[in-house]
Amino acid sequence: MQRGHLDDLLAFIAVGRERSFTKAAAKLGVSQSALSHAIRALEERLGVRLLTRTTRSVSPTAAGERLLGTIGPCFEEIETELAALRDIREKPAGTIRITATENAVDHVLLPKLAKLLRDFPDIKIEIIVDYGLTDIVSQQIDAGVRNSEQVAKDMIAVRIGPDMRMAVVGAPSYFKKQPEPKKPQDLLAHNCIKLRLPTHGGLYVWEFEKAGRELKVRVDGQLTFNTTAQMVIAALEGSGLAYVPEEMARPHLTKGRLRHVLEDWCAPYSGYHLYYPSRRQSSAAFALVVDALRYRPQRRPT
């Protein structure tokens, strides 16, 4: 159905309910002549008279009453739904779906979203832990969290965390049998705990940088996981060396359960970013989530 046909139906509903061209025209914000033209065009297309007009009144014919009773409720439902959508935009509510790695969830999302969820009980967050570069548009996910270099250029990216760095860690029990590596190439002689990424099913290559020199090492070892939390647990058990975000290992490093090696080769890099396809038509709930996650560096006292 063409857009003009819908306008004619809306004109008929207004006149049929108001029983007046004057009142219907005022309600729709159009002239009486435009309204009269729309009704005549509708009647001509349908081949039936819908309104009986006199100098003093307007009333629906039998055919008009039937059409009014049939389509009137349908347009009312549409108007009600549109009003509900406006309410949702004005009142923060709804479910926001976010994909992120477990480290980003544990150290960024959950701490920052806790207060938001307490303040806005109608907002719901669904978090999908995923190490692949998920297509958030095709999967109908509102936003993703990745390192800045992993965010596609056509996405809007908002920084949500400080600079990060990776850490090569091992348990004291492991180093009782193996010497500490002094340079990245030494890792080839170590039992390293590997991470398999879902993207192309490949193994994560350990990356290092020192004084502008970059090295990538394809390590080997007995254990392979698809999440980093299990890598830390395996390292704590003395099963090998793990290459994980430093903040994941920090509690164990502080207590001496793990030792950090090759520190001078683990350079900092840009931290986590929230990315999403467009700012247009974003809900009030989504805007609040973005603002709650936004990274705000703490100012050092002068």
Burial of 229 (0-12, 13-18, 19+ CB in 10 A): middle
pTM, full prediction: 0.65
> How many CB atoms are located within 10 Å of the residue 131 CB?
19
Within the chain, which residue ranges are assigned CATH 1.10.10.10?
3-90
Please name the fold of domain 166-265: D-Maltodextrin-Binding Protein; domain 2 (3.40.190)
> May I ask the CATH architecture of the domain 3-90?
Orthogonal Bundle (1.10)
Fold held by 94-163+270-293: D-Maltodextrin-Binding Protein; domain 2 (3.40.190)
Per-residue pLDDT tens, the chain, 302 aa: give them.
455 578 888 888 888 888 888 888 888 888 888 888 888 888 888 888 888 887 777 888 888 888 888 887 787 778 777 766 666 666 788 899 999 999 999 999 999 999 999 999 999 999 999 887 778 888 889 999 988 777 777 788 899 999 999 999 999 999 999 999 999 999 999 999 999 987 656 899 999 999 989 999 999 999 999 889 999 999 999 999 999 999 999 999 999 999 999 999 999 988 899 999 876 557 888 989 999 999 988 765 55
Q: How far is CA 164 from the centre of its chain?
A: 22
Q: How many CB atoms lie within 10 A of CB 82?
A: 10
Distance CA 293, CA 302 (A): 26
Where do you find CATH 3.40.190.290 in the chain? 166-265
The residue type of 74 is C
